[in-house]
Amino acid sequence: MLGSCVVAAPAKVNIGLKVLPGAAGGYHNIESVFQAISLFDTLEVEALGEGEGCAVSCTGADLPPENTLTGAYRSFCRETGLSRGVRVKVTKRIPLCSGLGGGSSDAAALVFALERLFGLTLGPRGRARVAERVGSDVFFFLLGGGCAVVTGRGQHVRPIPARGDLFFVPVFPGAGMSTGEAYGLVDQTFAQGYAPVGPALPELEALYHGPVEDWGFVNTFTAPVSARLPAVAQALGDLHNAGAVFADLSGSGSAVFGVFVSQDQARRAACRLSARWERCCVATCVCSGPLPEQAFLTEPSRRPQEEDWYADYGDKDSQGLGGGQVKSLCNGNIR
């Protein structure tokens, strides 16, 4: 068994997100393509002694005492009988309340770390029970690989081959709202007679693999959230103006993303957008294989440096594409 390890937790975007009317047990059913992207949080996880619990510290965001990490730890212990504790140091690059799945991905990454540190394996059913207790998006990060068609309230995950030819520019406008508030807005539209639009469920995989310019994906949250948060509408407009072939809200927001068919186009767009939006970056698909196999980076003695990350929001003083890297791109050959 290892004493500690470092784990990567990727963000996701929703390529289309149809919310269906009629909440069952307080949850709405959805139909969506989930795509993991190369924007990561990192978790440094250290094994502790018996009965020491889960101690979480975080840079880049303020986490409440009870969070997805503590929830995932308790659920893992319930499944396995683990009684030893862990210390988790999180470096947040995925913004909170953004619809990019950071909290859910962090929870899944901790499960993988606990399996590795203590030589325990949950298996698919055990992982599904953990996800059931922690949060709907956790199912995808534990079971979905790099890309999946996701239905139900998130618990039905069908992995599909991920594309390797897409480049994403996520933009976080800063304004945000809770998932509950966003679903409340959608429920208001349903009460006013709105019917969900977008491709039918059997069409999602083929459409995803087709030409991006032909994508007919629709996110049910986009219209009501954009109406409530003008910054979201502005960011979407800016992505289209910067040349995105497709742009939409991710999840219930408030992050938006644009899809580009070349890295050069994506970098040019990120350069242009950084003049208005501080938190934007360039990311690629996490393309293949189960996320557990891709999650483990290294042991702490060989901790990756910031420049190892392909995408990083960062802050004004960082070298991520949210800060120094975008500026350096703009000062170089990209105009």
Contact 36, 77 (CB under 8 A): no
Choose the catalytic residue: 41, 106, 137, 248: 137
Q: Which has the closest alpha carbon to 272: 300, 239, 295?
A: 239
Choose the catalytic residue: 12, 18, 248, 312: 12
Tokens 């325990």 correspond to what residue? 120
Known active-site residue 137: yes
- H helices present in 147-246, as ranges: 179-191, 204-209, 222-228, 230-241
Strand duo 84-91 + 30-50: pairing: antiparallel
Within 8 A by CB and 6+ apart from 323, the residues are 278, 314, 315, 316, 317
Give the burial class of 202: count Cβ atoms within 10 A of its Cβ; 0-12 exposed, 13-18 middle, 19 or more buried.
exposed
Count of C-beta atoms within a 10 Å radius of residue 300: 15
Contact 149, 139 (CB under 8 A): no
Known active-site residue 89: no
User: Is residue 256 within a helix (H) or strand (E), and if so which, with residue range?
Assistant: strand 256-260
Q: Give the catalytic positions in this structure.
A: 12, 137
